[in-house]
Amino acid sequence: MIGNTLRKLLVALIIIAPVITSTDCKKQAKCGCGKDVLFTLTSSSAYVFFNETGTSIYFQSLGDQFSTYYFCNPSEMFPSLKDSKSGDILKVSGYVYWDCNYVSQSSNSSYQSMYKIYNVQVTELSLDLYGKKAGNTPL
């Protein structure tokens, strides 16, 4: 009788012990500009799109066209685009963050999309690629 009770207690401890001892909680990255930096871009080649007033600027990397990066600072970077047209290939550097709308929608959905949306605090925007202006490459 005591052996049976001891065996049940031992089985219960084996089941409960990992739950009690495993307290590693991975912190969820905060979304939005100026929050937790996911990664840094350094002179990444990208198709940059913008409207004529510069209130909306975003890009898609040449290496990952399934992700869209929206500028956190479009009005600050818009003057750098004066010699380019929307859709040109430019070099982009900056700090990347999760987009809050994307995080909210993806957490409420059981469907895992390969399309990702980020915010980026652009620190540098270069008009040339390999020493030539985008859009002016010879045929």
Q: How many CB atoms lie within 10 A of CB 65?
A: 11
Residue 12 included in any domain? no
The whole domain housing 114 covers 28-129
Residue 137 included in any domain? no
Is the distance from CB of 95 to CB of 121 less than 8 angstroms? yes
Q: Write out the DSSP string of 19-73.
A: HHH----PPPPPBSTTS---EEEEEEEEEEEE-TTSS-EEEEESS-TTEEEEES-
Residue 16 included in any domain? no
Residue 7 included in any domain? no
Residue 54 included in any domain? yes
Query: Which DSSP state fits 111?
Result: -
Q: Which two tokens stand for residue 80?
A: 């750098």
Q: What's 80's domain CATH number?
A: 2.40.50
Residues 53-67: pLDDT tens digits?
A: 999 999 999 988 899
Residue 17 included in any domain? no
**pLDDT greater at residue 26 or residue 112:** 112
Domain count, the chain: 1
**pLDDT greater at residue 54 or residue 17:** 54
Residue 56 included in any domain? yes
Q: Model's pTM, two decimal places?
A: 0.72
